Amino acid sequence: MLEIERLTKIFANTTDAIAGGIRNASFSLENGTFFTLLGPSGCGKTTTLRCLAGLETPDEGRVAVEGDVLFDSAAGINVPMNRREVGMVFQSYAIWPHMTVAENVAFPLTVAKDRRYSRSEVEEAVDQALRTVDLAGFQSRPATRLSGGQQQRVALARSIVKTPRLLLLDEPLSNLDAQLREEMRVELKRLQRQIGITTVYVTHDQAEALTLSDQIAVIDQANVIQTGTPREIYFRPANDFVAKFVGSTNLLDGKVVRTEGDTVEVEVAAGRRLVCLKSGVMQAGEEVAVSIRPETIRLSAAEAERREGGNRLSGTVRNVAFLGDACRIDVQVGERLLQVKGAPDFAVPDNVEVALVFEASNTLAVPKAG
């Protein structure tokens, strides 16, 4: 459905900024996929989306939708934006305040160059789009008299009114408060399923990416670091950047002692060795990071468990924060503070010695990013 090959768009160095953009990105998406570009501010997400929309001319690469080439640097093809049949919701760019809801949603039809739409066609398409986003009956409401969530839905209705082949959404929920954002997340997923449209979604919010996506591409400094399902990204991060950016984790520096099949033994401190699963190819002597998720560690104050050996470390409880559905426990291990997610009724007081117990299957050795 959507093929992107070696897409590159790099903005030159300026006096006030280093070169940014997107480098050598390749993706191939099946019809109906919800695909998310995830990464920190400035990593190149909007740039990638603008290249797909035709708002930015890539330096190199190829973009095709359903076999139709939209851009190909080698063949000199660059289809203009208004002929690409894509719908887009821009980052922090909602709707026009001087128009009604219906006028906002109808806009892509009234300015269309490819064909003229009759008044009844426009009305029908607008009604349909508004029904899809659950805003039937809002047609004549002035845009200024809408809640934040309703404005976002009007923007969404406008992006689908022309039945695009591809939907591009740039942080469409970023202006909403936390609760509304979560509600709109569910809405958006339902809507995307219902109309079955291939969607490229941009966010820097990892929880949003995990909830919504079929596939995620994690981007850092113009480079695609990893592409995979939410579970692959979370449980098998390609390197320490992905492990840290997606979910929370404890990263320990270490050195590979030996490898055996899918596992490696890593020395994380003088004499302390952990058996870990490994991400990618690793050799003895290599410097790596060991990622241990807070929810996979069990704490035990029992004397017998505090003897080291196997995958366990000893530490001291430093702080317990009650979060309602869980406790976040800071445990000092050597010089480091590790985070552990415990049950809400966790009752070990501060400064007590504990064992941190975890399985090799929950412990992942990952390469260090550059």
Ligand X SMILES: Nc1ncnc2c1ncn2[C@@H]1O[C@H](COP(=O)(O)OP(=O)(O)OP(=O)(O)O)[C@@H](O)[C@H]1O
17 binds, among Mg ion, ligand X, none (CB under 5 to 8 A by kind): ligand X
Asked if 9 interacts with ligand X (CB under 6 A), we say: no
Asked if 172 interacts with ligand X (CB under 6 A), we say: no
Write each residue from 174 to 213 as x if it is in contact with ligand X (CB under 6 A), else as -, in one continuous string.
Answer: ------------------------------x---------
Among 45, 158, 185, 312, binds ligand X (CB under 6 A): 45
Asked if 36 interacts with Mg ion (CB under 5 A), we say: no
Asked if 346 interacts with ligand X (CB under 6 A), we say: no
**108 CB neighbour count, 10 Å cutoff:** 20
Asked if 41 interacts with ligand X (CB under 6 A), we say: yes
Q: What amino acid is encoded at 300 in this protein?
A: S
Asked if 47 interacts with ligand X (CB under 6 A), we say: yes
| Paired tokens of 311 | 């995958």
Report the alpha-carbon distance of residue 245 to residue 280 in Å, rounded: 19
Asked if 42 interacts with ligand X (CB under 6 A), we say: yes
346 binds, among ligand X, Mg ion, none (CB under 5 to 8 A by kind): none
Q: Which residue lies nearest Mg ion, judged by its C-beta?
A: 46
Report the alpha-carbon distance of residue 263 to residue 363 in Å, rounded: 10
Q: CB-wise, 45 or 158, nearer to ligand X?
A: 45
Asked if 93 interacts with ligand X (CB under 6 A), we say: no
Q: Per-residue DSSP letters for 20-40?
A: EEEEEEEEEE-TT-EEEEE-S
247 contacts: CB under 8 Å, gap ≥ 6: 206, 210, 234, 293
Q: CB-wise, 84 or 204, nearer to ligand X?
A: 204
The answer to whether the beta carbons of residues 78 and 90 sit under 8 Å apart is no
204 binds, among ligand X, Mg ion, none (CB under 5 to 8 A by kind): ligand X
Q: What amino acid is encoded at 183 in this protein?
A: E
Among 4, 7, 20, 243, binds ligand X (CB under 6 A): 20
Report the alpha-carbon distance of residue 97 to residue 89 in Å, rounded: 16
Contacts (CB under 5 A) with Mg ion, residues 86-105: 91
CA distances for 357 relative to 215, 254, 313, angstroms: 32, 18, 7
CA distances for 115 relative to 107, 109, 110, angstroms: 14, 9, 10
43 binds, among ligand X, Mg ion, none (CB under 5 to 8 A by kind): ligand X
Instruction: Report, in Å, the least distance between residue 231 CB and ligand X.
Output: 24
Segment near ligand X (CB under 6 A), from 13-21, 108-116, 190-198, 335-343? Answer: 13-21
| Paired tokens of 288 | 């790596």
Residue 86's DSSP bridge partners are: 166
The answer to whether the beta carbons of residues 130 and 79 sit under 8 Å apart is no
Residues that bind ligand X (CB under 6 A): 11, 17, 20-21, 39, 41-47, 91, 204
Residues that bind Mg ion (CB under 5 A): 46, 91
